[in-house]
Amino acid sequence: MPGIAGAGRAEYPMDTPDQVLPPERTEGGVPTPVPVPEEEVDELVEYLPRSAVGAACTAAAGPHQQRVERLLKLPVDGRQSTADCEAIRAFQQREKIKPANGYAGPVTWSRAELLAARRDPNAAGRCPVMTYTVACVDLTRELMWVQKGTKVTFDVVNIRSGRPGYRTRTGWHTVYWRNKDHWSSLYDTPMPFAQFFDGGQAFHGVYGQIATPTGSRGCVNLSYAHAEKLWNVLRQDDHVYVFGSRPEA
């Protein structure tokens, strides 16, 4: 059922694994290309508990209630009031998030974080400003961008980082290996536009929505389209800086 976590059928798994060694996946000695999505997923469908499905304006506080309250400049108390619900629903309607029923789930939160960061993703100065290219990965906001000095060369986008037990490792890293048509030999899962930066953790595209209740298995997941754009921005030996901590829902 659309909007319910884990419901429906996907052609490929939503989560993607760490991968240290490139698999040997070929057809007649030629590397097998990863699938290209027939069309990019552009609908924003919120993940809901079954108790909230069909509610006109749910009274339940979502897992990202306080974060959404802060971003929408509502009283930050983590409790869903009627005014909160109406404000969140109005935001969802404006951003075409379905269903628009005031539930502060991962899709609503990720969209609000992205909009707040677009003008200046490094306003807090947490990603070091260097003379060379740095791919900045903000786990706290689940965002990434690329900067060279103070100039943003790849606009801020939503990401999905590692879940508990598979955390995306923080600190400085370097893009050490790139494979446009990478397949995971652990799970036989396509990892398009993979750019590895630390012990098997990589930037790569996924099929479907990025904002989900659970994280990846360590990689930094992007939409297929964003991963393709990032492929043309980063180069081998470029620097990656990962900071923050993925919030628990």
Catalytic, 127? Answer no
Element holding 152 (H helix, E strand) = strand 151-158
Active-site residue identified among 64, 204, 226, 239:
204
Question: What 3-state DSSP class applies to 91?
Answer: helix
Q: Roughly what angle, to the nearest 10 degrees, separates helices 106-117 and 82-94?
A: 70
Burial 95-119 (b: 16+ CB within 10 A, else e): eebebbbbbbbbbbbbbbbbebbee
136 catalytic? Reply is no
Going by C-alpha positions, the residue among 223, 240, 228 that lies closest to residue 44 is 223
Which residues are known to be catalytic?
204, 219
